[in-house]
Amino acid sequence: MDRFLIRGGRPLHGTIRIGGAKNAALPLMAAGLLTSERLVLTNVPRIADIATMAELLRQHGLAVADAGGDSFSLSIGGEITSTEAPYEIVSKMRASILVLGPVLARCGEARVSLPGGCAIGTRPVDLHLKGLEALGAEIRLEAGYVDARAPNGLTGARIVLPFASVGATENLLMAASIASGRTEIVNAAREPEIGDLVACLVAMGARIEGAGTDRLTIDGVRQLHGATHPILPDRIECGTYACAVGITGGDVRLQGGQSEHLGAVVRVLEEAGVEVTQEAGALHIRRGGGLRGVDVMTEPYPGFPTDMQAQFMALLSVAEGASMVTETIFENRFMHVPELNRMGARINVHGASAIIRGVPSLSGAPVMATDLRASFSLILAALAAKGETVLSRIYHLDRGYEAVDRKLGGCGALIERVAE
């Protein structure tokens, strides 16, 4: 197991290339199950979750290969030979549930392990299952597996989601794209990654209206065909590096960063004293003056993303004044708080809210990563802290951030990956 050694106190200067979005790449790879023709995805991030999804697609029978080219590209294609997604793979990554809709729609049956909870919350999949039932699937839960059948195929329906779930919207979109008739998804999630999935499905021959709105209309087609699709830049990676510039001071261009995808993040960064300027092909981040405390509440897109909450908490821990951060999406997403407090932060949690009293400086310490975004919040704290931080359990980080040491090191940070 690797660790990061970080020596803090150096402002970042330079350029960081933002990779393709993890949360777009995973459903896009699952969309490869909707056709036997070749789906080529470009701008794929080099992260562990992509390798896990490739492993899952391969065990379904698809061929997944590096397609070559300048950016990392994947070529996905072939016939589905197994309709089962086994516990051994699904338990590594919750997004594995995204194969359920495509395999069921394509084969008339699917057996997918229930993903279970994870560190940040219980994360049920009831909305995925109810939506598929509305499309005519018969679903049983047995021995920890979702057993779904639709021997006569799926049929379009009107589905009203009680909560705008990202994953449920994606699963239903993919299944409905080859169901017979019209499906309407009301209160659909509006995250940019959904728009990216719609764009790819349309390039594969799907008929979908309403991308970017909370109402998606899908007219099912008999079959989809191959396509080539570039994955959109990762808005969470972009926001995370913006926080790195904010917490250390300095001046960095985030190549590929798009402010239009960041939703409320830009406004909150600016309120906290971080300058954000959209330039051609890059998001320019600077901080000249001090950081100010702000109140933040997580919400579905275009609200402030839960996937940026931990990183902002690190930034606010050294801002002047008090801040309140309220987490409304996941019930257990404050695990970074005790670790940040070990580095000198003053944060109290009361239910779904955390009160942060800004301190003048943090100090390096041995700390432990608990989940993906919490890991990066500790890196951010370490970059600003006096002295050395040793961050262990960075396999959480490797799930979703590529080349962290190279990207930060290239801007002057002292960060080294060492084997434990």
Ligand X SMILES: C=C(OP(=O)(O)O)C(=O)O
Q: Does 417 bind ligand UD1 (CB under 6 A)?
A: no
Q: Does 121 bind ligand UD1 (CB under 6 A)?
A: yes
Q: Does 95 bind ligand X (CB under 6 A)?
A: yes
Q: Contact at 8 Å (CB) between 231 and 44?
A: yes
Residue 21 to residues 18, 50, 103, 237, 315, Cα–Cα distance (Å): 9, 11, 23, 8, 23
Q: Does 80 bind ligand UD1 (CB under 6 A)?
A: no
Which pair of structure tokens corresponds to residue 297?
């509440």
Buried/exposed 188-217: b ≥16 CB within 10 Å, e otherwise: bbbbbbbbbbbbbbbebbbebebbeeeebb
Question: Out of 18, 64, 95, 173, which residue is the one contacting ligand UD1 (CB under 6 A)?
Answer: 95
Q: Contact at 8 Å (CB) between 201 and 227?
A: no
Smaller CB separation from ligand UD1, 6 or 166: 166
Helix, strand or coil, per DSSP, at residue 360: coil
CA-to-CA distance for 355 and 143, rounded, in angstroms? 42
Q: Taking Cα atoms as reference points, which of 328, 268, 315 lies closest to residue 295?
A: 268
109-128 binders of ligand X (CB under 6 A): 118
CB of 94 to ligand UD1, least distance (A): 6
Smaller CB separation from ligand UD1, 89 or 365: 89
Helix, strand or coil, per DSSP, at residue 1: coil
Smaller CB separation from ligand X, 95 or 197: 95
Which pair of structure tokens corresponds to residue 79?
């016939």
Which pair of structure tokens corresponds to residue 137?
């699937």
105 φ, ψ (degrees, to nearest 5): -65, -35
Q: Which stretch binds ligand UD1 (CB under 6 A): 125-133, 202-210, 241-249, 382-390?
A: 125-133
Q: Does 102 bind ligand X (CB under 6 A)?
A: no
Q: Which stretch binds ligand UD1 (CB under 6 A): 123-131, 226-234, 276-284, 362-370?
A: 123-131
Smaller CB separation from ligand X, 175 or 372: 372
Q: Which residue has the tokens 């979908």?
A: 208
For 418, other C-beta atoms within 10 Å of its C-beta total 9
Residue 278 to residues 18, 208, 227, 253, 308, Cα–Cα distance (Å): 14, 30, 30, 10, 19
Catalytic residue among 118, 200, 243, 411: 118
206-245 binders of ligand X (CB under 6 A): none
Q: Which amino acid is at 31?
A: A
123 is in an annotated binding site: yes
Q: Which stretch binds ligand UD1 (CB under 6 A): 66-74, 210-218, 299-307, 402-410?
A: 299-307
Q: Contact at 8 Å (CB) between 201 and 207?
A: no
23 is in an annotated binding site: yes
Question: Out of 372, 379, 391, 404, which residue is the one contacting ligand X (CB under 6 A)?
Answer: 372
Q: Which helix (H) or strand (E) holds 26?
A: helix 22-31
Whether residue 238 lies in the annotated active site: no
Smaller CB separation from ligand X, 217 or 301: 301
Q: Does 400 bind ligand X (CB under 6 A)?
A: yes
Q: Does 53 bind ligand UD1 (CB under 6 A)?
A: no
CA angle centred on 321, ends 235 and 360, rounded to 5°: 85
Q: Which stretch binds ligand UD1 (CB under 6 A): 4-12, 166-174, 338-346, 378-386?
A: 166-174
Question: Out of 329, 340, 343, 378, which residue is the one contacting ligand UD1 (CB under 6 A)?
Answer: 329
Q: Does 216 bind ligand UD1 (CB under 6 A)?
A: no
Q: Please enumerate, by residue number, every residue annotated as part of a binding site for phosphoenolpyruvate.
A: 22-23
Known binding-site positions: 22-23, 94, 123-127, 307, 329
> Can you give the binding site for ligand X, defined by CB under 6 A?
23, 94-95, 118, 307, 372-373, 400
Which positions are catalytic? Answer: 118
Interface with ligand UD1 by CB under 6 A: which residues? 23, 26, 95, 121, 123-128, 163, 165-168, 305-307, 329-330
